[in-house]
Chain A
């Protein structure tokens, strides 16, 4: 599983880095960014889905 953030859609609501801080971080402007290359370890797949489901701007995509 892999996560990506569409930076055009992200408005910095911060739900992703609050819900899954090992997968997402915030940049200096407070926008969401993916940590590393976005590969999700198996034990964090639920956290990744939760982040995707809580983004108000539908900016997160999960690819299996």
Chain B
């Protein structure tokens, strides 16, 4: 929360997703709003709405007529002309609207289809082994800083053909883009300059020396017989780095955080490895990391809420996933939940492009972690820290081993 803002008095009329109470534990806040609201409002960020029920989140996610994706990260103030206009947006295809969206998405889909993602599994498994082996026989690991944060970072770096040594930079970029949302605009623009510089350098390298990676793929790609606009290439690369890193890092971290408090579930997963993919879907439901934003495209009455053009919508898939009207025992984590129509990867046309990659990374990361450590627990529950902003997950996650 920025220094200039006051603490939230009532989340129904004054919500702020960077409020310390929300960052620490948002679930009771959403549960209460779902009961008594269920679409909260705030004057902060230039004016924003927060649907909390699955039905409302789903309705807005599917309604591209009244809600635009041209920016998906809620920032200070109404974006107005600062945001590139629809349909392309700053980071296609996530910031694109129909009909351009379908073309930009189709271009990227083959690289993230299951059969392509399967090819990355051996690399991911070796990476997990490389990260964990030094901790075998030790009594502690920070499952966030020593493990989860490196996995998606290095996998997406490999996919883009970026050097592994730069991984610290990638996390810094993500931090600037996703967590620095309450910094003043001049500071944000200044912080963005090194990102632009870094990507430009990688693009130039790949133009000189094409590789078998996503960067060269984008440079060679065509839409309607024309090469992609430089802004499109740059925007998609930024998207892949941002969307590919702290999302899955958060999902792996939250899963380990949960398991560290449930030794009986660890034992069960070790005895029955086939249960892990089912458990992963439940971790995705219960601890869905990603909240998206939309902008109201034209004035609309949404279930009695007078939404005005350019109002923000904070589209909480995590809250939809905890809606008791949609899920039985929504507040309980049930690792063998058979029916689980969760929305962790979004709903509608913007379903997470990398969902197959995320699931593979989660499965391999948890398999390798479980294979090495028989028992583990939170070393100090109060020492766990959580990220701020639209992606939620543990960052500092001290785990006691054995």
**Are chains A and B native binding partners rather than an unrelated pairing?**
yes
Instruction: Report A's interface with B, CB cutoff 8 A.
Output: 11-15, 17-18, 26-30, 50, 53-57
Interface residues of B in 108-139 (CB under 8 A from A): 109-110, 112-115
A53-B351 contact, Cβ under 8 Å, with A26-B114, A30-B109: no
A18 to B345, CA, bound (A): 15
A12-B351 contact, Cβ under 8 Å, with A26-B113, A53-B339: yes
Q: Which residues of B lie under 8 Å from residue A28 when comparing CB positions?
A: 109-110, 113, 115
Instruction: Report B's interface with A, CB cutoff 8 A.
Output: 106, 109-110, 112-115, 277, 281, 338-343, 345, 347-349, 351, 355-356, 359
A12 engages B343 (CB within 8 Å): no
A44 to B121, CA, bound (A): 28
A50-B338 contact, Cβ under 8 Å, with A18-B277, A26-B115, A56-B347: yes
A-B contacts, 22 listed (Cβ < 8 Å): A11-B348, A11-B349, A12-B355, A13-B351, A13-B355, A14-B355, A14-B356, A15-B281, A26-B113, A26-B114, A28-B109, A29-B113, A30-B109, A30-B112, A30-B113, A53-B338, A54-B339, A54-B340, A54-B341, A55-B341, A56-B347, A57-B347
CB distance from B315 to the nearest CB of A (A): 14
A29 engages B109 (CB within 8 Å): yes
Q: Which residues of A lie under 8 Å from residue B355 when comparing CB positions?
A: 12-14
Q: Which residues of B lie under 8 Å from residue A14 when comparing CB positions?
A: 114, 355-356, 359
A11 engages B110 (CB within 8 Å): no
B339 engages A11 (CB within 8 Å): no
Q: Which residues of B lie under 8 Å from residue A30 when comparing CB positions?
A: 109-110, 112-114, 356
Q: Which residues of A lie under 8 Å from residue B115 when comparing CB positions?
A: 26, 28
CB distance from A51 to the nearest CB of B (A): 11
Q: Which residues of A lie under 8 Å from residue B340 when comparing CB positions?
A: 54
A17 engages B109 (CB within 8 Å): no
B341 engages A56 (CB within 8 Å): yes
Q: Closest residue of chain A to B345, judged by CB?
A: A13
CB distance from B272 to the nearest CB of A (A): 16
Q: Which residues of A lie under 8 Å from residue B347 when comparing CB positions?
A: 11, 56-57
A12 engages B341 (CB within 8 Å): no
Q: Which residues of A lie under 8 Å from residue B110 when comparing CB positions?
A: 28-30
A56 to B347, CA, bound (A): 7
CB distance from A61 to the nearest CB of B (A): 15
A56-B343 contact, Cβ under 8 Å, with A18-B277, A50-B338: yes
A39 to B343, CA, bound (A): 28
